[in-house]
Structure 1
């Protein structure tokens, strides 16, 4: 079983405002129906490039910095770790060409320096989150409700391809005030992805599910509610905290402001097990009066029962 401990889905920050214009496509989405999900997923993004994950001191006065990307070694293009490893055992000096802040640099390095650099190179990233919805007609999905930012480099990764896998919740570390909890998940190494990722933007990740990703007839479409329909009061958060099981938990929407709203977990069974909101729950759909209204995006570190959400119509715009 492959375990995933990297989590960016519910960062320990207050929620942020998105001031964006309403596009014509938004009006079309307000009357559509989608399937609200709630399954835990592992997300794998292949960069199509090789990045340095930490600052590395090559010599007494020469640093490579986190976020630098290696473009070439000698005269050969570099797009993956496999390209780099071909040069590791050559035992000769190599010339690396790397990019920093859109400028190119060149550095001669020894084979020993190449070995020193190798543990700090990466061509992919992974993490966990929650599936929000999919469109039964097109198989398009949305997840997370916010952008993936690489937790090590702090950059928003460009990627050449991405995949999502269903994951199983193995353990829960409860949230307590001042210390966000998280899920420990796993998925079998030989399992196939259930979908591909083609966008990573401020609204979340988006792509298409495989045709056989969900064959459960109990999955029901619901109407997508416009942001004006979101009201204070009780609602349901749909998420996974036990294996692959998806459950509904009661929340109380406390404030609504344009396309953002805040809520409090009131379901005692969820509070008992998780302490409230966990890292890994971002993307959990929120349903009110049998309509999909929003998506969990953030938590409050000092008050883990409290969370922030984005109106689903805002998320479904996909582009600012």
Structure 2
């Protein structure tokens, strides 16, 4: 009997220790702030978590959008995980899209994409390197005059006659100035700074959703970055245009595939934000389609889901995928979920996830939960995705000023 009791106590102790460790794991995985829709209480899909709300909510009173309260999150209803701040937000519905679109983006300032030498009478010299300029820096102005194109930059340096120029620059979130003296090239006699810059880009992506309440659309789920530096291109102005998918370069292990398409002149709408959660603008014409409620992050769970993808001229189709991992506490980045394509038809057509599918919307349990953003190069059937909640937060800033 004593041996039995001793074993029971050991088992109970191990159970308690496991619960504590699991609680600590969930505490690290959950963010400090969560959202809940007006009229609902905090619930977690697919997790052994429950919450006890403070007095006003637990008494059954409905809090209006904009209110906040504290919830005590517990594991199996017994073990405290953490207290979280809950924001009450209005329930939203949008139209998931899945159509390809063309992106034309013009930069605010110009991005430095290369540093080079100038072949002078005194030998090779690099004015840009001497001035401390790096790849990825943004050149905003020369001698107080703004520059937004390659042509403007070349003309300003060519007309300097070799006099020192004051450059207004940005690096990350920091603004600074530097001084640069252009050198005269013996090849063509032109004064040059020894740098390559980019002022625009164009490409194909996928429209994630359209909001019929305000005309705002969202796409990509990640920012448009410079191909050479990997830095986010600062947006001066841009345009969304029609695009037609004409073929697929199939993805394989170690090789990223892509949707092949053409850009049309037909104007779809403006491009007003190029940010960490995607690109956003206002469409000139409403998009037809069925509206779906937008899920909060804690409503997303591991399991079956659907992805809307366009791979040919027939338009979007629904394909089966599996949400393999949900990172509830991963902020507003592009890696909130890990998604695997399970639909044989899509794997046969594309190999899985390819370039151009960024922004393809994800649906689960009758809700819009997010969008695919990246592919795993060594496993094209898998990729990352972003929460719909994060995209809606960015879109709201545009809707408020539109």
TM-score interval w.r.t. the shorter chain? 0.7 to 0.9
User: Alpha-carbon deviations, 1:233-269, whole Å to 9, x = none?
Assistant: 2211001111361111111222333162222211111
| Equivalence for 1:62 | 126
Normalized per residue, which structure has more helix?
2
Change (3 A) 1:297 1:100: closer
Secondary structure of 1:283's counterpart equals: coil
Matched pairs, number: 297
The correspondence for 1:233, drawn from 303, 314, 336, is 303
Q: State the structure with bigger RCO (CA 8 A, min sep 6), 1 or 2.
A: 1
Q: CA deviation at 1:114?
A: 5.0
- Choose 1 or 2 for highest CA Rg: 2
Secondary structure of 1:128's counterpart equals: strand
Distance in 2 between the 1:198 and 1:146 partners?
14
| Equivalence for 1:288 | 364
Matches within 5 A, 1:149-188: 149-188=225-264
The correspondence for 1:122, drawn from 182, 185, 198, is 198
For the 8 Å contact 1:239–1:247, the answer to whether it is kept is yes
Change (3 A) 1:114 1:75: farther
Change (3 A) 1:284 1:202: same
Change (3 A) 1:71 1:223: closer
User: Alpha-carbon deviations, 1:41-75, whole Å to 9, x = none?
Assistant: 22222113233322221242325343344455677
Matches within 5 A, 1:3-82: 21-22=33-34, 27-28=88-89, 31-59=91-119, 60-64=124-128, 65-71=134-140, 77-82=146-151
Distance in 1 between the 2:235 and 2:269 partners?
15
Distance in 2 between the 1:82 and 1:185 partners?
29
For the 8 Å contact 1:180–1:279, the answer to whether it is kept is yes
The correspondence for 2:224, drawn from 144, 148, 153, is 148
For the 8 Å contact 1:226–1:293, the answer to whether it is kept is yes
Q: CA deviation at 1:172?
A: 0.9
For the 8 Å contact 1:39–1:244, the answer to whether it is kept is no
Distance in 2 between the 1:199 and 1:150 partners?
16
Matched, 1:195 2:287: no
User: Alpha-carbon deviations, 1:215-246, whole Å to 9, x = none?
Assistant: x4xx1111112222223322110011113611
TM-score, length of structure 2 as denominator length: 0.65
Change (3 A) 1:203 1:296: same
Change (3 A) 1:103 1:254: same
Change (3 A) 1:299 1:114: farther
Distance in 1 between the 2:33 and 2:344 partners?
38
Q: CA deviation at 1:19?
A: 6.6
Distance in 2 between the 1:113 and 1:253 partners?
60
Change (3 A) 1:199 1:69: closer
TM-score, length of structure 1 as denominator length: 0.80
Matched, 1:104 2:104: no
User: Alpha-carbon deviations, 1:80-125, whole Å to 9, x = none?
Assistant: 2343465698796576543364232222233737587799332112
Q: CA deviation at 1:201?
A: 2.0
